[in-house]
Amino acid sequence: MKSLKKLTGELRYNKRLNNNIIQNNMTPLDIVLFPDNGLREVCKPIPEMTDRLDKLIDDMFYTMYDAPGIGLAAPQVAVQERLIVVDVSEKGDQPIALMNPEIIQSSGSIDWEEGCLSLPGIYGKVTRPSDILVRGMNRDGKIIEFEANELQAICIQHEIDHLNGRLFIDHLSNLKRNRAVKKFHKEQADMQAEQS
Ligand code: NI
């Protein structure tokens, strides 16, 4: 999910550097853009934590903070597995990586103007439960459960949607979705024209 905060990528990145979380060996990954078919697949469950996944999690955090974004799902970096990373904190110091995330309970309702790193430049108001209980595997390979509220709950639901081939625009009315997709294609075409 894309951040609506006016923090620049560089600022967030520097904060991460100060916290020694970003290290030299991290690689920014290419973000898969709409309408790539990979964004429409149901991703595979992850049986266990591995060194490959540990590296992927670091690279996904790097890519997310650099974008800047507040959440990223594995299919957005062309990996069709059930892994998400999220950090909705102001300082970018509360990273959560979760494998096989599930929502066990949900309640309340909240509207949010959502964006997505796979659909740069477009936003739309989505209504979701405001309070959720989440279960998943952390990067130590432990099954954890925790409560998430408001923006964190929205972001986790948005990222879990990605693992099921769902995008935030699917929550919009047909009219609003068509308008958003049209705007996206136009902006991408304009950008390509500028670059060539
Ligand atoms: Ni997204």
- Ligand 1 (ion): which residues have CB within 5 A? 1, 116
**Tokens 């949607």 belong to which residue?**
161
Q: What angle do CA 121, 29, 137 make, to 5 degrees?
A: 100
**pLDDT for 180:** 96
Residue at 117: amino acid letter? L
Cα 117 to averaged position of ligand 1 atoms, centre (Å): 6
Rounded to an integer, what distance in angstroms lies between the CA atom of residue 89 and that of residue 15? 12
Cα 155 to averaged position of ligand 1 atoms, centre (Å): 8
Q: Where are the beta strands (DSSP E) in the chain?
A: 71-73, 83-86, 96-107, 110-114, 124-128, 131-137, 143-149
Cα 175 to averaged position of ligand 1 atoms, centre (Å): 20
10 catalytic per annotation: no
Number of domains in the chain: 1
**pLDDT for 26:** 77
Cβ atoms of residues 135 and 104 within 8 Å: yes
Q: Where are the beta strands (DSSP E) in 7-138?
A: 71-73, 83-86, 96-107, 110-114, 124-128, 131-137
Rounded to an integer, what distance in angstroms lies between the CA atom of residue 61 and that of residue 64? 5
From the candidates 102, 150, 159, 187, give the one annotated as an active-site residue. Answer: 159
**pLDDT for 23:** 56
Cα 51 to averaged position of ligand 1 atoms, centre (Å): 25
Cβ atoms of residues 15 and 7 within 8 Å: no
CATH of the domain at 101: 3.90.45.10
Instruction: Using alpha carbons, select from 8, 24, 123 the residue that is nearest to residue 66.
Output: 8
Cα 37 to averaged position of ligand 1 atoms, centre (Å): 14
Rounded to an integer, what distance in angstroms lies between the CA atom of residue 143 and that of residue 132? 16
Confidence (pTM): 0.89
State the 10-residue block means of pLDDT for the chain, 196 residues long: 50 45 71 97 97 94 91 98 95 93 98 95 95 97 97 97 98 97 95 88
Instruction: Using alpha carbons, select from 125, 127, 120 the residue that is nearest to residue 183.
Output: 120
Is omega for the bond preceding 47 within 30 degrees of 0, making it cis?
no
- Dihedral-angle region of residue 47 (phi above 0 means left; psi in -120 to 50 means alpha; beta otherwise): alpha
**Full residue range of the structural domain in which residue 131 is found:** 5-195
**pLDDT for 177:** 97
